[in-house]
Amino acid sequence: MPANLTPQYLEADRKFKTATTPQDKLQALEEMLATIPKHKGTEKMQADLKRRIAKLRDQMQQRKGAARGRPSFHVDKEGAGQIALVGAPNVGKSTLLRALTNAQPEIADYPFTTRVPLPGMMTYENVQVQLVDLPPITAEVSEGWLFAIIRTADAAALVVDLSTDDFLVQTEQVQAGLGQTKLAIAAVPREPNEKPGLVVANKLDVAGAAARLQRFREFIGDRMAVFPVSATYGTGVEDLRRALFGLLGVIRVYSKPPGRKADNSTPFILRRGATVLDAAEAIHKDFVARLKYARLWGKDEYQGQMVGREHVLEDGDVLELHA
Ligand SMILES: Nc1nc2c(ncn2[C@@H]2O[C@H](COP(=O)(O)OP(=O)(O)OP(=O)(O)O)[C@@H](O)[C@H]2O)c(=O)[nH]1
Ligand SMILES: [Mg+2]
């Protein structure tokens, strides 16, 4: 090439090609313009760079303007609980939503494909759990409503991309973005601002994924459980369903009318730690005052014996209430 491009220019060009945010792209283009040798042979390239910078600035400005007038989004909860899909751009959040639910999100091989929240219902055994696909979190982009949705969700799944060497940097950026609004995701939340969560290590099918998974496990330690999956091929997705349901901290209890069988298809969803009395309230408000005794079928020794009002229930218990 007659232009005699400098190593600095080539470095800036490389940065542009790997940039994932408009801000990074703009910065790289400006560096390219600053470092391109200024002579006749590069005049066309200089003009082209200036044009691209102007266009990108315009687009970013428009996006900002649109953000100001844009309504904020909210997703009404449905099912046994709501779990937000959180992560950097292009990690596969929407692909995961498609793999786990009947929703049909837009999926594309470039960042910022998802711009509004999209809910989908995930079936786990006989319960429905609501997953909410969200736009990505980056160091620069942070829309208030996005964090509000995460804050009000019952739990969060942090999606990590095993196909790129940037996976740790991306994760740190997402955590920093959450931190700016005082949010965090943790296996065992200790504060109100911490969401119960787990990590979905996605794109397990790509070359190099296993080694990156290993590095990720070392990075995250016991702060969160890691579930390796391929959203595209469905690997690991069934284990993930169970773990996502587990995040909700709820149990399923079945009501059995005396002398009849329990309806196993429609559990009552109660918080973990709920008692017979809580179940009675959920099954029928009237039972609370009138409850004389209850019989329980469940794990181990519970094969129909009487239990007290304060007895703590477990997932899968069958309760026969006598008023
Ligand atoms: N090989 C492989 N590719 C995947 C997998 N999951 C997603 N992808 C690809 O990764 C790209 C991004 O997927 P999306 O689901 O759109 O990612 P996203 O996180 O929703 O992206 P944004 O909406 O931009 O934040 C697409 O080209 C997907 O086909 C996977 O498990 N394996
Ligand atoms: Mg998406």
Kindly report the average pLDDT of the chain as a whole number: 92
Q: Find, among 299, 296, 300, the residue nearest to 311 by Cα.
A: 296
As a whole number of angstroms, the distance between CA 244 and CA 239 comes to 9
Which pLDDT belongs to residue 67? Answer: 58
Question: How far, in Å, from the CA of 132 to the mean position of ligand 2?
Answer: 11
Closest CA to 150 of 179, 172, 190: 179
The pLDDT tens digits of the residues spanning 255-264 come to: 998 888 888 8
* The pLDDT value given to residue 45: 92
The pTM for the full model equals: 0.78
The percentage of the chain sitting over the pLDDT mark of 90, rounded to a whole number, equals 73
Fold of the CATH domain 250-322: Ubiquitin-like (UB roll) (3.10.20)
Highest CATH level, class, for 7-69? mainly alpha
249 pLDDT exceeds 80? yes
Query: What is the per-residue pLDDT for 2?
Result: 54
* Nearest alpha carbon, ligand 1 atom 6: 92
**Three-class secondary structure assignment of 157-220:** EEEEECCCCCHHHHHHHHHHHHHHCCCEEECCCCCCCEEEEEEEEECCCCCCHHHHHHHHHHHH
Ligand 1 contacts (CB < 6 A) are: 87, 89-95, 107-109, 111-114, 136, 202-203, 205-206, 230-232
Q: Are 124 and 245 in contact (CB under 8 A)?
A: yes
Angle between helices 22-35 and 7-18 (to 10 degrees): 170
Give the residue extent of every domain in the chain. 7-69, 82-247, 250-322
- Are the C-beta atoms of residues 320 and 295 closer than 8 Å to each other? yes
| Contact by Cβ (8 Å): 167, 216 | yes
pLDDT digits (tens, 9 = 90+) for 11-22: 999 999 888 888
Confidence of residue 3 (pLDDT cuts 50, 70, 90): low
What residues contact 217, with CB distance under 8 A and at least 6 apart? 226
pLDDT confidence tier of residue 53, bands split at 50, 70 and 90: very high
- At the fourth CATH level, the homologous superfamily of domain 82-247 is P-loop containing nucleotide triphosphate hydrolases (3.40.50.300)
The predicted model gives 168-193 an average pLDDT of 94
pLDDT digits (tens, 9 = 90+) for 271-290: 999 999 999 999 888 878 88
pLDDT of residue 71: 65
The pLDDT of 318-322, averaged and rounded, is: 94
Residue 18 near residue 90, CB atoms below 8 Å: no
pLDDT digits (tens, 9 = 90+) for 182-220: 999 999 999 889 999 999 999 999 999 999 999 999 999
Please check the confidence at residue 117 and state whether its pLDDT lies above 80. yes
Q: How far is the CA of 305 from the centre of ligand 1 (A)?
A: 51
- Look at residue 287 in the predicted model and tell me its pLDDT: 79
Over residues 72-110, the pLDDT tens digits come to: 799 999 999 999 999 999 999 999 999 999 999 999 998
CA dihedral 193, 198, 204, 206 (to 10 degrees): 10
